[in-house]
Amino acid sequence: MNRIKWRIFASLFGACLASVWVAVATESNPPPSLSILETSDADLIRQYRERCEYVIDQEVAITDPDDAGRGSFFTIAANLRRQTNLEWASKRLVAANQPPSGAMFWMHPMVLLMQCGRETLSDEDWAFIRELWRTYFPYRGDTENHWIMYYVSIYLAAEMFPDAGREAWYNGKSSAENMAEAKEYIQDWIRITTSYGQGEYDSPNYIEEYTRPMALLAGWAQDPELRQLGKMMMDYVLLDYVVESLGGLYGGAHSRLYPRYVLQPSLTAGAAHGWLFFNQGAFRRNSGNTLIALSGYTPPPILFRIAHGRDEAYVHKELKRTRWRLRNAGGDPRAFEVDEKTTTPVFKYSYVHPDFILGSSQGGLLQPIQQQTWSLIWREENPSGKSNTMFGIQPYSSPHEGTMYFPADWDTVTDLIARSKVDYDSEDKLEGGSPYEQVFQHESTLIALYDIPEEARFPLIHTLFSRDLEGRVEDDSGWIFAKGGPIYIAYYPLAPGVWKEVDWTGLLKGGAGGWFSTNFEELAAGSQSLVSRYLKNGYVLQVASADDFDSYASFKQAVRALPLEMGLEPTPFVSFQTPSGVKLEARYGEALEIDGNRVDYSDWKLFDGPFAQAERESQTLEIRYDRERYFLDFENQRTETSIMGEL
């Protein structure tokens, strides 16, 4: 692994003083934190289980036994596990199902409730539950997380009544038929994910829609194969998260994010998971955490060591895939088929520093509606309430995207999308992909280029400068400088822009979409977007730790001295020498060149970093920390722990 240590020196050349960064690289793993290595596996597990018990305690504590009109299925399940408030639990079970609703979001907490209530639910309760499964027909949904929650739920429900016939279930299939269909889907999803990458990848808020069903399998599947696969996939998803996390906050490029989570990373389910699994950040009630705590799943201690024992910066790369493309995929030369379904590779690149994470994907339409192509997050002592992030977007809205990923027709698809994702067709939205965007990254340097046609719905780009950035300066050199927590930021726009308040149309501040925009005025207050309406456009972003400089002034001086050439015609291009002396050449429509060598995506691995290695189509994952190795083999449903270097 490359360990990058920055130092600054000033050299006098002629009459000019130039500040230059020098990168010193070594080939080794980052030194492990002694405090982590000195903590035994048994103590790490004990501390984790204590946090689980605390989660369950908090869920029981919010119960009002005199009010059967309030309380989630998760709260009922916690009380059933603790064997407390059982009369309330029975009444609330009935009241909460008048009528049942929520499809797979009804199914999986109902399964949790059933598993936790095996010994405490009454015969009347079980008769009521059986009738619900017979008469309520839950919708399977239309996303990857919907389907995996649906099939895990129906599998575990049917497994509890293995001899039930077709008359016992809403879909007219017997328990055996439901279990066979569900198991086939679950195994297929795991095979595809561990071969080609997840489609709904690395979402800070949707991560729990995957940890919930996997924890259900790990905790309660009677089929030993599915129980093992559930546990292994929990390990897999958590590794995927922890290698791009910063104090529990999920960094990098993401498939799906809502506006509130884009602005405040500490609000996400990923951040809540950070506290439960790795004791990072602050406790916040989260239904996914409640389910996981009740399931008995325990993460391997190596993940805790990775979360806490990273003292040096590193590059981490991943291969994901787009959501299945129903139409409009023919023009992409990288498109390929898996089981007669079309998808396209997503190439992720993250620079993970102790003070920040800068991460990106290549741009384009990689995930409908809520894609975040690149992001920067930085460390804050207390990130709650902070907008410790930066990102840019080309606000694309078109039936082309809608019909690519959804089965609706051209004339109605945009309206259908905007009914639930209300900001989709708004020029000031904060999330989404664009076919007119291309992003390049090398370590702590990012270049984004745009070539937008005049007929585009929203012919503009905008970049967030959050309220938690300090010392913002529009320098005569063309660079915009700012400070965020322990980092310095330099942003060079290729075309002029104007400053606007976030949500300048007032759509979300006005309350559109109900929960979608709750407290949005408070969340967005004080943050601004740099908006540029030039069709050929772009910017360069350079990030550094403040510890590498004597002062903010010396950082600005060093950036001004970096060689930079750019142009917009015939297509946008940038030639930039990074602080470590590496020359980057980026041109819209072409691959990035690093010191004259073009980046080759053909051999991009599923995971490629100091803590994780996985080849494409391997159905394996090797997790590493120092000399410790934890190997997952999904094809053979086995795990292996070893110490590297031992005979």
Flag whether 64 is in a domain: yes
Flag whether 186 is in a domain: yes
Task: Looking at the structure, tell me whether residues 298 and 314 fall in a common domain.
Answer: no
Q: What is the mean pLDDT of residues 310-314?
A: 95
Residue 330 in this model has a pLDDT that exceeds 80: no
Task: Looking at the structure, tell me whether residues 147 and 71 fall in a common domain.
Answer: yes
| pLDDT, position 525 | 96
Q: What is the mean pLDDT of residues 444-454?
A: 98
Closest-CA residue to 367 (of 344, 339, 334): 344
Residue 30 in this model has a pLDDT that exceeds 70: no
Which backbone phi and psi does 154 adopt, to 5 degrees? -70, -30
Task: Looking at the structure, tell me whether residues 585 and 525 fall in a common domain.
Answer: yes
| pLDDT, position 515 | 85
Flag whether 31 is in a domain: no
| pLDDT, position 311 | 92
Residue 22 in this model has a pLDDT that exceeds 50: no
Residue 514 in this model has a pLDDT that exceeds 90: no
Task: In whole angstroms, give the CA distance from residue 125 to residue 121.
Answer: 6
Q: Is 132 exposed, middle or buried (0-12, 13-18, 19+ CB in 10 A)?
A: middle
Q: Which residues pair with 464 in a beta bridge?
A: 529
Residue where one domain finishes, among candidates 272, 302, 332: 302
- pLDDT-derived band at 36 (thresholds 50, 70, 90) equals low
Flag whether 4 is in a domain: no
| pLDDT, position 18 | 28
Residue 248 in this model has a pLDDT that exceeds 80: yes
Is the separation of the CB atoms in 575 and 584 below 8 Å? yes
Q: Is the dihedral of CA 552, 553, 556, 562 positive or negative?
A: negative
| pLDDT, position 138 | 98
Q: What is the mean pLDDT of residues 584-607?
A: 97
- pLDDT-derived band at 281 (thresholds 50, 70, 90) equals very high
Task: Looking at the structure, tell me whether residues 279 and 331 fall in a common domain.
Answer: no
| pLDDT, position 34 | 47
CA gyration radius, the chain: 25
Residue 225 in this model has a pLDDT that exceeds 80: yes
Question: 269-278 and 301-308 helices cross at what angle (nearest 10)?
Answer: 110
Residue 631 in this model has a pLDDT that exceeds 90: yes
Is the separation of the CB atoms in 390 and 465 below 8 Å? yes
Task: Looking at the structure, tell me whether residues 467 and 433 fall in a common domain.
Answer: yes
Residue where one domain finishes, among candidates 302, 337, 365: 302
Flag whether 385 is in a domain: yes
Task: In whole angstroms, give the CA distance from residue 113 to residue 110.
Answer: 5
Q: What is the mean pLDDT of residues 193-216?
A: 98
Residue 337 in this model has a pLDDT that exceeds 80: yes
Q: What is the mean pLDDT of residues 500-528?
A: 93
- pLDDT-derived band at 23 (thresholds 50, 70, 90) equals very low
Flag whether 645 is in a domain: no
Task: Looking at the structure, tell me whether residues 455 and 428 fall in a common domain.
Answer: yes
What's the domain count of the chain? Answer: 2
Residue 15 in this model has a pLDDT that exceeds 50: no
Is the separation of the CB atoms in 517 and 573 below 8 Å? no
Task: Looking at the structure, tell me whether residues 281 and 322 fall in a common domain.
Answer: no
Q: What is the pTM of this model?
A: 0.94
Question: 269-278 and 287-295 helices cross at what angle (nearest 10)?
Answer: 30
Residue 412 neighbours by CB under 8 Å, 6+ apart: none
| pLDDT, position 37 | 61
Give the SS3 label for residue 326.
coil
- pLDDT-derived band at 1 (thresholds 50, 70, 90) equals very low
Task: Looking at the structure, tell me whether residues 320 and 298 fall in a common domain.
Answer: no
| pLDDT, position 646 | 60
Flag whether 615 is in a domain: no
Task: Looking at the structure, tell me whether residues 389 and 519 fall in a common domain.
Answer: yes
Task: Looking at the structure, tell me whether residues 424 and 570 fall in a common domain.
Answer: yes
| pLDDT, position 27 | 31
- pLDDT-derived band at 35 (thresholds 50, 70, 90) equals low
Task: In whole angstroms, give the CA distance from residue 230 to residue 153.
Answer: 13
Task: Looking at the structure, tell me whether residues 126 and 260 fall in a common domain.
Answer: yes
Residue carrying structure tokens 């930085």: 378
Residue 9 in this model has a pLDDT that exceeds 60: no
Per-residue pLDDT tens over the stretch 422-445: 999 999 999 999 999 999 999 999
Domain of residue 603 covers: 309-609
Residue 80 in this model has a pLDDT that exceeds 80: yes
Task: Looking at the structure, tell me whether residues 337 and 266 fall in a common domain.
Answer: no
* Half-sphere exposure in the Cβ direction for 157 (13 Å, CA): 30
Residue where one domain finishes, among candidates 302, 326, 342: 302
Flag whether 168 is in a domain: yes
